[in-house]
């Protein structure tokens, strides 16, 4: 079994790093080599980050699953048996840093959205660090536990989008109220100037 899985393991781990000559579009590897947020080519930074959250978690989850298949649950964390998933975790923390910071910059005017984004990042980090099997955990329990973060990711992603939309709506209403005042002042100034010319 180990010998049969070895080529698969190495092939998957080889995908964990984008090609050195990957083309960069809009700050992210794109489109042929968009490894971090493959479903968000050409989209804003926030979309890239939200895509990366689930995509990068899935990649490390798959690596851990292969380690478990190769060594079994009991030995999947012994010695260097978990080295590939640990390497995946370190790599993906680095890969998500750029889209995360870019997303923070993009929504910096919305305090609620920023708080929601911080919460999502902390949830992602916690989920990534909890991919290892827990002693005494059954196969069904393990699979259910590592699948659960997707639901929380979705909920927090929705909260980010909702918070941002609410902030944008408030700004739009504020701007709409401000425009009539500016128009009134401009009209008043024009009337005053006209009267002054007549005198």
Tell me the C-alpha distance between 174 and 137, whole Å.
54
List residues bridging with 25 in a β-sheet. Answer: 28
187 pLDDT above the threshold of 60 = no
**pLDDT value at position 41?**
81
Residue in this structure with the two tokens 């968009």, named with its chain if needed: 34
pLDDT digits (tens, 9 = 90+) for 2-39: 444 444 444 444 444 444 444 443 444 445 567 899 99
Distance of CA 46 to the CA centre of its chain: 7
Percent of the chain with pLDDT over 90: 63
Q: Where are the domains of the chain?
A: 2-198
Number of C-beta neighbours around residue 67 at 10 A: 26
**pLDDT value at position 176?**
73
**Average pLDDT score over residue span 183-189:** 54
The CA-based dihedral angle spanning residues 31, 32, 36, 38, taken in that order and rounded to the nearest 10 degrees = 60
**pLDDT value at position 110?**
94
pLDDT top residue among 23 and 79? 79
**pLDDT value at position 75?**
94
Percent of the chain with pLDDT over 70: 72
In the predicted model, what is the mean pLDDT of the chain? 82
**pLDDT value at position 14?**
44
pLDDT digits (tens, 9 = 90+) for 90-145: 999 999 999 999 999 999 999 999 999 999 999 999 999 999 999 999 999 999 99
**pLDDT value at position 151?**
97
What pTM value is reported for the model? Answer: 0.74
List residues bridging with 24 in a β-sheet. Answer: 29
Task: Name 1's Cβ contacts closer than 8 Å, sequence gap at least 6.
Answer: 69, 70
192 pLDDT above the threshold of 80 = no
pLDDT digits (tens, 9 = 90+) for 9-18: 444 444 444 4
């Amino acid at each position: 079994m180990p010998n049969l899985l070895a080529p698969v393991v190495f092939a998957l781990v080889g995908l964990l790093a984008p090609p050195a000559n990957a083309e960069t579009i809009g700050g992210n590897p794109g489109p042929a080599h968009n490894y971090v947020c493959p479903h968000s080519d050409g989209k804003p930074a926030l979309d890239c980050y939200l895509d990366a959250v689930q995509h990068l978690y899935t990649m490390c989850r798959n690596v851990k699953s292969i380690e478990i298949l190769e060594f079994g649950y009991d030995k999947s964390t012994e010695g260097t048996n978990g080295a590939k998933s640990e390497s995946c975790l370190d790599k993906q923390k680095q890969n998500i840093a750029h889209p995360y910071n870019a997303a923070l910059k993009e929504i910096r005017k919305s305090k609620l959205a920023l708080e929601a984004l911080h919460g999502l990042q902390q949830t992602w980090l916690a989920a990534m660090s909890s991919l290892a099997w827990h002693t005494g955990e059954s196969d069904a329990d393990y699979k259910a536990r590592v699948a659960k973060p997707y639901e929380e990711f979705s909920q927090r992603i929705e909260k980010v989008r909702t918070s941002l939309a609410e902030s944008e709506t408030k700004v739009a209403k504020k701007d709409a109220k401000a425009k009539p005042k500016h128009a009134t002042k401009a009209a008043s100034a024009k009337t005053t100037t006209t009267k002054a010319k007549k005198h």
